[in-house]
Amino acid sequence: MLNSTNVFFVLPDPVYNQEQCQIYPNFTKADSSFLYVTLLENMYEIFSVLFPKVDLFVCLNEKDEEILSLKTSSPFLSDNLFYFNEDTFTNEFVSIFDKRKAGVKNFIFVHPDFVGLTEADILQMLDLLLLEDDVLLLKKTLHKKIVLFATNKFQNEIPRLMHKKNFVCDSALKKLCALDYQFYKLKNVFSLAHANDFKELYKMLSRKENYACCSKKMHDRFTHLFIEYKELL
């Protein structure tokens, strides 16, 4: 078994495609896309620091493919970037996953629409995945939505738990818990689900203790939105 952990960023909805991406309350299409892309790229950047302990894979909606291909420099490694059709998402994800899992024991699945994860948090997860026991780690948002789960024992059911709309829905959680893992619920993170969350994001990123949640570059991108939508703060 390889020591590296495979990390899958899974985005069922388009984020780069401004016409197709979900609209964040009170935002324009372009700024909604900018927000979701920043959340993804921020999370990707935080994990990237830990290469080669982690290998990163990005699974995007096929409606993002054309937009991303037009970019002069992609933030992701082309070999590790996959697109899928949202109607056949689960099956396609299983297929992508099957090709990538050989020889790897540890997996992290992330639905990157949140902030609050730091390099230290990831190291803590990697430490837990190295335990001898069969481990399942869960990270939820303050809204109780699962946005990350990780395991050191792969079971065929796991990629099938990915749900198009909810990443991992509650019924899937029950299935996960039934698989007899040592279960750890990690510190909650912050997601942008409701209109008021934008104001909370501003407050959160203003606090010194949260500086490790994003780089200066990413902070500047969030700041651009804070200026653009200052009436929401």
Binding residues (CB under 8 A) for another protein: these are: 120, 123-124, 126-128, 130-135, 173-174, 177-180, 182-187
Q: Of 13 and 134, which CB lies nearer to another protein in the complex structure?
A: 134
Write down the least CB distance from residue 209 to another protein, Å: 13
C-alpha to C-alpha distances, 46 to 12, 35, 214, 218, nearest whole angstrom: 21, 17, 7, 10
Q: Of 66 and 170, which CB lies nearer to another protein in the complex structure?
A: 170
Write down the least CB distance from residue 86 to another protein, Å: 29
Q: Of 98 and 133, which CB lies nearer to another protein in the complex structure?
A: 133
Q: Of 5 and 61, which CB lies nearer to another protein in the complex structure?
A: 5
Which residue, 83, 80, 87, is CA-closest to 65?
Answer: 83
| Single-letter amino acid code for the residue at 59 | C
Write down the least CB distance from residue 166 to another protein, Å: 17
Write down the least CB distance from residue 217 to another protein, Å: 24
Query: N- to C-terminal Cα distance for the chain?
Result: 49
Q: Of 81 and 137, which CB lies nearer to another protein in the complex structure?
A: 137
Write down the least CB distance from residue 174 to another protein, Å: 5
